[in-house]
């Protein structure tokens, strides 16, 4: 089987959809497949990367300014260059199926080639109308286009039940299935030899520092717990970074809030191992790879009641309302006051994660490809 895969972001660009793509490709490299990926370069020069002998990753220069934030100009540039590059590839090869990560822009590109290649669309979050308030105006104009892309696709896949339900508000008659993100439980695992430093609590949040992630509510909560033996580690970058640093300074907690900045995905497992609790205070979420990493690392989780996040909480953490720092405070206090309960939650997180490996995710997508090709 020869697969054309489109994803405008690939590590180090982007977030969950980017990392999911990388892990799926690692699984495909072990199969009897040939995969060509058309993505974006972070260096503003054309690059080519290989995984094994059969996965080719073509990174197009689009003059990217920020690895986590996409401008309309960058999306348009990727779309134009990808369209041109795909035509060149198709002069040399015939593809059995196209897998587009994100309905916009990649689904739109796949739609243009629909007469030559059947395609599937993998919904990730902000490509679904209503997911991200920042795109409220754009969604109004994109909805008809998005519906056409979904309707012509051989399959539409959401990464959580919550995202599927949101997508159905745009296209109620659309058939949408769910394939969750996976996790590499051999890469992310608890440190059984870790020695705790007293009775304190080390909290970690791995996230882009953008408004949608709700990080300010977590920092506010830490401010209300400044008298406790507690530390917050924030991993990630984003356009709210300076604002959040100022908030920590204004609250007098700069000494217990550690902004780590960007850490490559290959080096992040140790951060989880040194932590006790993972917090994700998002205002909207699809299916967080970082949450899965924290769970695989054996961490109790505190998350908001949004999207696919709550689908991963079953006796392994506490769900709090969105935008409520007081609720985060109460959750943290509970975990500090009842360490035995936290230990049980730690073990349950790991057990849940062990059921969600990337091998199963890859097999699920291969089954979808086969069904679409046979239509």
Q: What tens digit of pLDDT does each residue of 293-346 get? A: 999 999 999 999 887 788 899 999 999 999 999 999 999 999 999 999 999 999
Show the tokens assigned to 233: 């580690």
Q: What is the pLDDT of residue 92?
A: 93
| Whole-number Cα distances in Å, 265 to 14, 16, 102, 301 | 11, 11, 21, 20
Which structural domain range is residue 70 located in?
A: 2-182+357-374
In this structure, are 271 and 348 located in the same domain?
yes
| Whole-structure pTM value | 0.80
CA 2 to chain centre: 26
In this structure, are 329 and 243 located in the same domain?
yes
Neighbour-count burial for 314-324, b at 16+ CB within 10 Å, e otherwise: eebbbebebeb
Q: What is the pLDDT of residue 15?
A: 80
pLDDT confidence tier of residue 196, bands split at 50, 70 and 90: low
Q: What is the pLDDT of residue 195?
A: 61
The answer as to whether 344 is a domain residue is yes
In this structure, are 9 and 105 located in the same domain?
yes
The answer as to whether 189 is a domain residue is no
In this structure, are 132 and 40 located in the same domain?
yes
The answer, yes or no, to whether residue 175 has pLDDT greater than 80, is yes
Q: What is the pLDDT of residue 197?
A: 57
**Range of weakest confidence among 141-150, 198-207, 225-234, 271-280:** 198-207
Contact residues for 144 (Cβ-Cβ < 8 A; gap 6+) = none
The span from the CA of 75 to the CA of 122, in Å, is 17
Q: Is pLDDT larger for residue 265 or for residue 90?
A: 90
In this structure, are 252 and 121 located in the same domain?
no
The answer as to whether 193 is a domain residue is no
| Whole-number Cα distances in Å, 248 to 209, 230, 231 | 14, 14, 12
Q: What is the pLDDT of residue 68?
A: 73
What mean pLDDT, rounded, does the chain reach?
A: 92
């Amino acid at each position: 089987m020869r697969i054309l895969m489109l994803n405008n972001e690939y590590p180090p660009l982007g977030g969950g959809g980017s990392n999911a793509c990388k892990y799926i490709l690692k699984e495909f490299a072990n199969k009897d497949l040939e995969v060509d990926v058309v993505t974006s370069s972070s260096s503003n020069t054309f690059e080519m990367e290989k995984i094994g002998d059969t996965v080719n990753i073509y990174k197009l220069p689009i003059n990217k300014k920020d690895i986590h934030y996409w401008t309309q100009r960058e999306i348009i540039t990727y779309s134009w260059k990808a369209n041109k590059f795909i035509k060149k590839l198709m002069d040399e090869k015939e593809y059995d199926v196209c897998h587009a990560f994100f309905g916009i822009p990649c689904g739109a590109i796949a739609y243009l080639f629909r007469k030559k290649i059947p395609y599937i669309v993998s919904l990730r979050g902000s490509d679904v109308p209503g997911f991200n308030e920042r795109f409220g105006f754009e969604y109004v104009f994109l909805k008809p286009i998005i519906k056409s892309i979904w309707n012509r696709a051989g399959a539409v896949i959401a990464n959580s039940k919550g995202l599927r339900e949101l997508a159905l508000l745009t296209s109620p008659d659309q058939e949408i299935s769910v394939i969750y993100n996976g996790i590499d439980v051999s890469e992310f695992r608890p440190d059984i030899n870790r020695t705790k430093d007293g009775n304190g609590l080390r909290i970690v949040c791995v996230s882009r520092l953008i408004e949608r992630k709700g990080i300010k509510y977590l920092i506010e909560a830490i401010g209300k717990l400044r008298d406790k033996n507690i530390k917050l580690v924030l991993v990630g970058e984003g356009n709210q970074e300076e604002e959040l640093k100022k908030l920590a300074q204004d609250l007098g907690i700069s000494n217990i809030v550690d902004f780590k900045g960007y850490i490559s995905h290959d080096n992040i497992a140790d951060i989880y191992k040194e932590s006790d609790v993972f917090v994700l205070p998002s205002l909207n979420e699809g299916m967080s790879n970082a949450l899965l990493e924290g769970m695989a690392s054996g961490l109790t989780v505190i998350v908001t009641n949004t999207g696919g996040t709550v689908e991963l909480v079953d006796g392994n953490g506490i769900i709090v309302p969105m935008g409520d720092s007081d609720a985060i405070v109460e959750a943290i206090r509970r975990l500090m006051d009842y360490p035995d309960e936290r230990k049980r939650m730690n073990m349950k997180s790991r057990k849940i994660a062990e059921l969600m490996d990337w091998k199963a995710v890859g097999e699920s997508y291969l089954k979808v490809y086969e069904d679409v090709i046979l239509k």
